[in-house]
Structure 1
């Protein structure tokens, strides 16, 4: 019985060694220098024209059509609110944040922004002018010939 156990363990170890040896890099010999400095990829250019982008689907969080570089977004400060808070939109010309941002999980209205909606960049992102890594084949329903209600 003991011999069978040794043979089984030896066979399993041999098989594991052969299987692992095929995709494992060598531990000795000429290797690329991991500390070598490589050129950094260029930074993306953010769209800063303040033109509101059309949303790709209902309930999509709108993208940020301006630069947010240097904006402080922490528990103590939220620079977005200096323009998008209800009290400031008339002077800034910015759109007011959605009323859904004033609701709790239980749909109870609050006097100020809900803590779960306070960190804007959880959902909203600045629009960058880059070539996409993967092509987009999205087609809007209106382009597919879907007619809106009451359009007949």
Structure 2
């Protein structure tokens, strides 16, 4: 059993049929969703950017951490079950292990994106538009959030 599933045991669950949305891009996200079983596709601007069938996968974390609408849509590809955590900030604040799991998930995504962008840069080296990849890599490495909500510091 995925360790993260132990953290969400006891939270409400929902079952969705194939083709239903867990989250929709640009809509509010008020819960953290953890896949217990099933398979989903991740869509950004109606383009599939990923497919996940791993129990313990987390959805909605970016929206919740950034304080904005969903950054992508998540649609089931087959019948799926999810745990829904309605107070995700409180849940993560109360569990360092759960917070670390989400942080590791996000770190893996950033690492994958960085590797992809470096590969693209190598493939298109010498082309005029490759400067865009440099800008994206620089933004990923040094982005300063200007409008994001930050929790108050604790003493």
| TM-score in terms of structure 1 length | 0.19
Greater helix content: 2
Greater Cα radius of gyration, structure 1 or 2: 1
Greater strand content: 2
| TM-score in terms of structure 2 length | 0.19
